[in-house]
Each structure stands twice: as C-alpha cells, then as structure tokens.
C-alpha cells in the first residue's frame, strides 16, 4: 500500500543535491541505459516513524541512517545528500503522509530512502546523474512484539558477502544474489537463512536482512564488523549500547557456527525484524532449539527497552528519537 507523496531530489553536475521536493506517488522515468539498471549502482535505507498518543510522530535515529547511506555511497562511487538533507527529506515526506502513520501500538510508517545511479552509461563507469528518492508505506507490527520465535537454517553454498566486497553497505545488488537461498528456505518452512563466511565457511555472519546475537552465561556475542562482510545495522548498534548500559558484557568477535549449539539464547536485530528471538537453527540437518520451556530473559529485556525508546513509551535519555508535531 503506497502513501500519497514521495520525495525526489536529483544531483547537480558537481555531485551535490538540491531543489528536491514532494511529488504525488507514482512511476518514475529511467533511461534504459541507467547505471542502476545495467550495473546495479544503488543503495537503499529503511527506517520507521511511529505515532504517539498525543498525535505527534516519532522518528528513530534518522541521522544514523543518513550517515550510513553516505558511507555506502562512498564505497559505490556515488554522491549522496548530506545527513542534514537526508533527515529533512525524511521529515518532510513523513509529515506530508502523516495520515498513513498507523495509530499508536498498531504499527508504523515504513520509510524507504533510495539512492540510484539514474544517468545513462554503456560501459562500467559511475553514473553521470543520481536520484535520491523516499517512499513510505504503512505496516503492521510484523515482528509480533518480538515474542514470536523465528526459525533459521544455515546456508552452506551461497554467501551473502565476501571480504573486499560490499557486504558492509546496503547495496541493492547484495539482496538479489541471495534470493535463491532465501526463497528455498521459506519453501522448506524456515523463517530465514543464516549465512556463513565465504573463506572458512565456519563463522556466522548475518541473515538475509538482520544481524545475529547469541547469549551464553549472560555474555552477549555478535559477529564483528572488522571483516567488512557484516552490515553495521542501526538496530544492532542500539542493542549493543542498551545491553552494555544494563551491565551485560557484549563481545563483537568471530562467532563460530558450533557456538550456536551451546548458546542459551539467540536473537536477530534489524529494521524489519526489530529484535526477534530465534526459536531454532538447523545446520547440516541438525536442529537446535532455544528457550522451549523457559523465557528468553535477555532477549525479552532488550526488546522491551528498545521498543519503549523507539515508540516513545519511555524517556529517551540517549537522544535517539526525533519528535515531529
């Protein structure tokens, strides 16, 4: 379901962005030789807007998403809006579509910024022109409060990222390459795929759209970003900060697939899944289940705190939210 308006801004010859504005939601024109169509030069972002009981609207860490887009754009040789332009464009788009923001506790407005190489090229070269676009759509709480466990299967042949590649940015081509594994997992009854590193095929990296954490003896571990193959998720960053503020030890390191079979809890974080606990993981035909007869205490605690801040149910002492009247 599409909202009323979308935001569009084009780059100038010097690579800067200006004179953007709202348009009625609809189709856009692209030259068949557009770089994004032929060579995949494009980046996506995603964030949320929530409605509070007083009818104000809350954005969650839009600056982090604007900064991540700029980092990704640099990797793909693309100019990008400034963080200030990004945040202002998000605000304008959300406010103009505010009638589409679901009521409190009923869902959120999904915000999808895109940066694409729209200029025509017929050889492997950066596009001469770029479009920054934002579209929004209302969604229900498809994380189901983080209480509905998800079931993962470890992929052994297809890899999400390689060292030296673009796994650390939200390049649009990253997702097309894993559709086969994702669709097959769904067809076999799993919620998503968990990918391993491409070198040793032993270390856990992330799922199709989420970062992963495991808990063992109250120590929380998550795959390191240092290899350049794991996306620096904004939700991931928030959960690490919240966990440490609550006294948990959090380790960012290489996590072997064998450790999953010894973990007390496993959970995923991301804009789509929010913070969702993992009910089971299957690897080479062997299945391990988590918290079948007892609550996932750490996952639930972190989920509740994150949700309270994100939706404005508790005071934001960390300065993560932006409130719009």
Q: Active-site residues: which are they?
A: 170
Which residues have C-beta within 8 Å of that of residue 143, sequence separation ≥ 6? 272, 273, 274, 275, 276
The C-alpha atoms of residue 99 and residue 81 are separated, in whole angstroms, by 27
- Count the alpha carbons within 13 Å of 261 in the hemisphere toward its beta carbon: 10
- Cα 140-142-148 angle, rounded to 5 deg: 140
Q: CB of 299 within 8 A of CB of 146?
A: yes
Q: Considering only CA atoms, which of 179, 156, 198 is closest in space to residue 282?
A: 156
Q: CB of 273 within 8 A of CB of 209?
A: yes
The C-alpha atoms of residue 124 and residue 2 are separated, in whole angstroms, by 34
Taken as a whole, the chain contains a residue count of 325
Q: Which contiguous run of DSSP H or E holds residue 152?
A: strand 150-155
Q: Which contiguous run of DSSP H or E holds residue 213?
A: strand 211-216
Q: Please give the span between the terminal C-alpha atoms of the chain, in angstroms, as a whole number.
A: 24
Place of tokens 């993560």: 320
Q: Considering only CA atoms, which of 170, 178, 172 is closest in space to residue 195?
A: 178
The C-alpha atoms of residue 325 and residue 309 are separated, in whole angstroms, by 18
Bridge pairing between strands 47-51 and 57-60: antiparallel
- Count the alpha carbons within 13 Å of 186 in the hemisphere toward its beta carbon: 8
């Amino acid at each position: 379901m599409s909202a009323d308006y979308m935001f569009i801004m084009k780059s100038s010859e010097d690579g800067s962005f200006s004179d953007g504005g709202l348009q009625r939601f609809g189709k856009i024109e692209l030259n068949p030789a557009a770089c994004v169509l032929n060579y995949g030069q494009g980046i996506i972002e995603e964030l949320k807007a929530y409605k509070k009981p007083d009818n104000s609207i809350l954005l969650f860490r839009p600056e982090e998403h604007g900064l991540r887009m700029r980092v990704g754009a640099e990797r793909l040789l693309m100019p990008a809006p400034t963080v200030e332009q990004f945040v202002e464009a998000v605000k304008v788009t959300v406010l103009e579509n505010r009638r589409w923001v679901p009521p409190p506790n009923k869902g959120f407005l999904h915000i999808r910024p895109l940066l694409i190489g729209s200029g025509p090229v017929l050889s492997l070269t950066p596009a001469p022109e770029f479009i920054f676009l934002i579209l929004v759509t209302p969604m229900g709480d498809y994380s189901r409060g983080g209480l509905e466990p998800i079931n993962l299967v470890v992929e052994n042949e297809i890899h999400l990222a390689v060292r030296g590649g673009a796994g650390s940015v939200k390049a649009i081509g990253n997702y097309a390459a894993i559709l086969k594994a994702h669709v097959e997992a769904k067809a076999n009854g799993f919620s998503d795929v968990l990918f391993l590193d491409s070198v040793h095929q032993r270390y856990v990296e992330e799922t199709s759209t989420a970062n992963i954490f495991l808990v063992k003896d109250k120590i929380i571990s998550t795959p390191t970003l240092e290899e350049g193959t794991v996306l620096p998720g904004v939700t991931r960053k928030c959960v690490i900060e919240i966990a440490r503020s609550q006294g948990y030890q959090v380790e960012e390191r290489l996590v072997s697939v064998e450790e999953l079979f010894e973990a007390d809890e496993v959970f995923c974080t991301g804009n789509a899944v929010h913070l969702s606990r993992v009910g089971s993981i299957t690897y080479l035909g062997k299945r391990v289940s988590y918290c079948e007869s007892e609550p996932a205490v750490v996952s639930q605690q972190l989920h509740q705190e994150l949700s309270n801040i994100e939706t404005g149910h508790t005071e934001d002492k960390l300065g993560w939210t932006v409130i719009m009247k």
